[in-house]
């Protein structure tokens, strides 16, 4: 026989609990629904479809400092809002509520009796009758003072971030400009052209070039690529550019120029954060007898120049064995000397061009040296301006496939006018 109330068995009561606990718990649960409504930790109100407040809880009245009699049947929900909040309510909240039957988490501000403002988050649902007709609107109101302060801070931070990104883009563009010559100098008896392709507006690239006069009618030129991007790369680019110009004045021998740059970079970035670059430096000497130039190129790990001859033939000018500039205390630097006769064109480029992804080749393949050689062979014979324009068009066809900055510099010796007319 089992006891009816389980009093002796202990039932499933947890060990250690006294009979009185259950009664106290039950009393708590029997907390009246009305008290739950009136003193809930959030505001409640019910409004008729025209907005008139039909019911409002004590919590919300206390927050606002209104007497029940001043509100119920006399005011609309809209009346409790600030003027701006009312506009938002009427143009966004109310239409959405009508269309969707509920709206949640809308940020509004309530006006208290003493004129102070209470930021709140409001959620409303439409209560419908059995036939689906809307009867009234139930609304809960949460105190959102802390949250609003936090959101205002977020909003301010986001606006600031947007402003700064714009500023950064402007700075990058300006910085990039300062790393390149504003305009190429004009060299008597030589045509020159250059192009700089910026791959990303957010980061300064590390490509650079220049062409400048040295003594005795000779000219120096260089084109290079610093590893990496951004501010650090820009600093090295700047250092490389000015070191190259100063070194060329000190000793214009191309191998000596690059050797000096190597020493500077090696000293500057020695240690935990080695920085290096690839550069090709050229010394141009006019060759009065043949209306052309002699150019000695020194390369430190840089892609070889392309020489397009007056007869249309084209090939790389290899400088094998040249090592990256800045890595080793004594880098090996390779040199080569060629003559540039009338109709010849020399093209220097950075590997942004040959490393570009091309859709035509499929599988995200890179453009490559061979393709570039074929490309310039098809151009020859040509001029500096034509070559750079053609490379520019080529880069455009790659579009976003060019993921690194690309610099190209071309020089060509014009043909005598008599020949050009043929």
Partner 1 sequence: MTVRGRNHVTVTGRDGGPVVMLAHGFGCDQNMWRLVVPLLEQDFTVVLFDHVGAGRSDLSAWSRERYSSLEGYTEDVLEICHELALGPVTFVGHSVSAMMGVLAAARKPEAFAGLVLLAPSPCFVDDPATGYRGGFSAEDIDELLESLDANYLGWSGAMAPVIMGNPERPELGEELTNSFCRTDPDIARVFARVTFLSDNREDLAEVTVPTLVAQCSSDAIAPPEVGAFVQARIPGSRLVTLNATGHCPQLAAPEETAAAIADFARAGH
Interface contacts to partner 1, rule CB under 8 A:
49-51, 76, 78-79, 82-92, 94-96, 98-100, 102-109, 119, 148, 151-152, 154-155
| Residue 256 burial by Cβ neighbours in a 10 Å radius (0-12, 13-18, 19+) | middle
Nearer to partner 1, 144 or 317 (CB): 144
The CB-of-98 to partner 1 minimum distance in angstroms stands at: 4
**Nearer Cβ to partner 1 (149/249):** 149
Name the strand (E) or helix (H) holding 21: helix 19-29
Q: How far is CA 127 from the centre of its chain?
A: 48
In the bound state with partner 1, the residue whose beta carbon lies nearer, of 106 and 214, is 106
Helix axes 254-268, 230-250, angle to 10 degrees: 140
Closer to partner 1 by Cβ: residue 45 or 372: 45
3-state secondary structure of 382: coil
- Closest approach of partner 1 to the CB of residue 66, in Å: 18
At 185, phi and psi to the nearest 5? -70, 160
Which residues, 6+ apart, have CB-to-CB distance to 138 below 8 Å? 44, 45, 46, 124, 125, 126, 127
User: How distant, in Å, are the alpha carbons of 24, 42, 340 from that of 32?
Assistant: 14, 17, 100
Q: Which residues have CB under 8 Å from 392's CB, separation 6+? A: 195, 197
Min CB(105)–partner 1 separation in Å: 5
Nearer to partner 1, 158 or 332 (CB): 158
Cα–Cα distance, 354 to 303 (Å, whole number)? 9
H or E element that contains 256: helix 254-268
Nearest distance, CB of residue 99 and partner 1, angstroms: 6
94 vs 373 by CB, closer to partner 1: 94
User: What is the smallest separation between the CB atom of 185 and partner 1, expressed in angstroms?
Assistant: 42
Residue 6 CA to residue 191 CA, distance in Å, equals: 108
Nearest to 231 by CA among 179, 163, 166: 179
- For the bound state, the minimum distance from the C-beta of residue 173 to partner 1, rounded and expressed in Å, comes to 23
The count of other CB atoms within 10 Å of the CB of residue 257 is 28
Q: To the nearest whole angstrom, how small is the minimum distance from the Cβ of residue 103 to partner 1?
A: 7
- Residue 307 is inside which H or E element, if any? strand 305-308
Residues 6 or more apart from 226 whose CB is under 8 A from it?
206, 207, 208, 233, 236, 237, 240, 275, 276, 277
72 or 389, CB closer to partner 1? 72
From the CB of 131, what's the least distance to partner 1, in Å?
16
Q: Are 118 and 62 in contact (CB under 8 A)?
A: no
CB of residue 235 vs partner 1: minimum separation in angstroms? 36
Which one, 107 or 256, has the nearer CB to partner 1?
A: 107
Looking at beta carbons only, is 118 or 240 nearer to partner 1? 118
């Amino acid at each position: 026989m089992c006891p009816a109330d389980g009093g002796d068995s202990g039932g499933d009561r947890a060990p250690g609990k006294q009979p009185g606990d259950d009664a106290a718990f039950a009393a708590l649960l029997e907390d009246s629904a009305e008290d739950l409504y009136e003193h809930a930790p959030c505001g409640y109100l019910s409004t008729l479809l025209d907005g008139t407040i039909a019911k409002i809880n004590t919590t919300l009245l206390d927050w606002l400092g209104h007497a029940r009699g001043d509100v119920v049947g006399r005011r609309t929900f809209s009346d409790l809002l600030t003027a701006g909040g009312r506009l938002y309510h009427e143009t966004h909240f109310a239409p959405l509520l009508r269309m969707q039957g509920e709206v949640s988490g809308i940020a509004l501000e309530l006006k208290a009796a003493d004129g102070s403002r209470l930021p709140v988050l409001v959620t409303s649902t439409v209560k419908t009758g059995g036939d689906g007709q809307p009867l009234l609107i139930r609304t809960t109101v949460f105190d959102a003072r802390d949250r609003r302060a936090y959101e205002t801070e977020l909003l301010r931070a986001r606006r600031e971030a947007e402003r700064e990104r714009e500023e950064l883009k402007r700075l990058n563009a300006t910085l990039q400009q300062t790393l390149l010559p504003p305009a190429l100098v004009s060299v008597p008896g030589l045509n020159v052209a250059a192009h700089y392709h910026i791959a990303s507006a957010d980061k300064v690239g590390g490509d650079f070039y220049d062409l400048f006069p040295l003594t005795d009618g000779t000219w120096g030129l260089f084109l290079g690529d610093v590893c990496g991007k951004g501010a650090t790369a820009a600093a090295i680019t700047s250092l490389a550019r000015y070191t190259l110009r100063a070194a060329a004045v000190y000793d214009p021998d191309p191998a000596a120029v690059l050797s000096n740059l190597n020493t500077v970079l090696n000293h500057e970035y020695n240690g935990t954060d080695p920085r290096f670059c690839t550069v090709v430096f050229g010394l141009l000497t006019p060759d009065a007898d043949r209306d052309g130039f002699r150019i000695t190129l020194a390369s430190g790990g840089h892609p070889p120049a392309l020489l397009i001859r007056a007869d249309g033939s084209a090939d790389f000018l290899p400088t094998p064995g040249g090592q990256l500039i800045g890595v080793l205390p004594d880098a090996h630097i390779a040199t080569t000397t060629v003559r540039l006769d009338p109709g010849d064109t020399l093209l220097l480029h950075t590997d942004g061009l040959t490393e570009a992804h091309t859709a035509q080749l499929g599988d995200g393949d890179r453009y490559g040296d061979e393709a570039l050689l074929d490309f310039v062979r098809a151009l020859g014979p040509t001029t500096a301006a034509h070559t750079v324009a053609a490379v520019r068009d080529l880069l455009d066809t790659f579009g976003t496939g060019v993921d690194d900055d690309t610099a190209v510099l071309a020089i060509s010796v014009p043909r005598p006018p008599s020949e050009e007319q043929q």
